[in-house]
Amino acid sequence: MESRKQGKIIKGVGGFYTVLGEDGKKCVCKARGLFRKNGQTPLPGDNVEFSFNKKDGGYLISILPRENELIRPAVANIDLLLIVVSAQEPLPDLELADKLLLYCAKQRIEPVLVINKCDNGTNESAASIIGQYDGAVDKIVCVSAETGYGMDALRELLMGRTICLAGQSAVGKSSMLNTLLGLELKTGELSAKTERGRHTTRHAELIPMPNGTLIADTPGFSMLETVSVEPEEIPLMYRDFSEYSNGCRFVGCMHVSEPDCAVKEAVENGNVNRERYSRYVKILNEAIEIRRHKYD
Ligand SMILES: Nc1nc2c(ncn2[C@@H]2O[C@H](COP(=O)(O)OP(=O)(O)OP(=O)(O)O)[C@@H](O)[C@H]2O)c(=O)[nH]1
Ligand SMILES: [Mg+2]
Ligand SMILES: [Zn+2]
């Protein structure tokens, strides 16, 4: 007897895929030639139909359409991206945080700004970061992987979702994973390199938490691929500008050199954060440069 089931791939190694079934049971499946033929590679996070019988074991039948697909780590259908910054060392790279927000908008992933290393609650540095992202991100949480501060609130936000962590080195991504999962991943060390000087490849894996959350185990050096967005898309992805951009004189205003720009006015009035705006101009110019050299 064979039964068709639905589930989610949480791990794939050497052509064997571990599928978490809707019944909560795990089943190791093989992919059939079918996927190779149409160029599909099953990824952790993929929602799949699979089948199991005693003779052949489990095998994948089909992959359901993907909501999104990340390259590093290679996972699909991420609901939430935790953009991790630090309220202590290292100094927060907010330009990276801004780019990750653009990435989320592009990939239809909900962002959560996580300010880690708030060991004794929200400190001055955390408050300054919150001030810069007010209106830009819905969910901002202050936590400490070390003392556990804010971790329950974070767990609550993650419940039942499939999540991934991103952010510069040493902000505490591995430490947060350890705290959330009760694991002992390596922290505070540079990522392992092979003798040939390359990073050790590690397969991506989704780790289930008791509350139904799935967390992508992030390699130490993890950087999401750089966002490739057209310059014109960028202002539309700044939620903190959207309240004002209707007041701009020109439709399609990029809020840089145009006259009667309501966003620039909002910056002057302190309604849009000036630092965030300055980084916006830099990111926008970078995108324009990238396009200019695209066909060089
Ligand atoms: N004070 C304090 N230190 C922390 C906290 N979380 C992490 N750290 C320390 O910050 C350092 C870096 O933490 P990791 O978890 O390795 O950082 P990471 O983001 O995984 O870094 P990469 O793997 O290099 O990307 C370690 O020395 C941790 O002990 C925290 O909440 N408070
Ligand atoms: Mg790490
Ligand atoms: Zn404008």
List pocket residues of ligand 1, CB cut-off 6 Å: 88, 116-117, 119, 144-146, 169-175, 187-188, 220
Q: pLDDT (tens digit, 9 = 90+) per residue, 231-278?
A: 999 999 999 999 999 999 999 999 999 999 999 999 999 999 999 999
> Angle 166-154-220 (CA atoms, 0-180°, nearest 5)?
25
Distance 272 CA to ligand 2 centre (A): 33
**What is the rounded distance in angstroms from the CA atom of residue 68 to the CA atom of residue 106?**
9
| 91 to 22, 87, 129, 140, 235: CA distances (angstroms) | 43, 8, 11, 18, 26
The dotted CATH code for 80-216 is: 3.40.50.300
pLDDT value at residue 228: 77
Please state whether the predicted TM-score (pTM) of the whole model is above 0.85: yes
Ligand closest to the CA atom of residue 252: 3
Half-sphere exposure of residue 157: CA atoms within 13 angstroms, side-chain side: 22
- Among residues of the chain, what percentage have pLDDT more than 90? 67
195-224 confidence digits (pLDDT tens): 333 444 467 899 998 888 999 976 544 455
Q: How far, in Å, from the CA of 219 to the mean position of ligand 2?
A: 6
The alpha carbon of 184 and the centre of ligand 2 are apart by a number of angstroms equal to: 11
CATH number of 3-63: 2.40.50.140
Nearest CA to ligand 1 atom 3: 117
The residues spanned by each domain of the chain are 3-63, 80-216, 231-293
Q: What is the pLDDT of residue 184?
A: 57
In words, the CATH class of domain 231-293 is mainly alpha
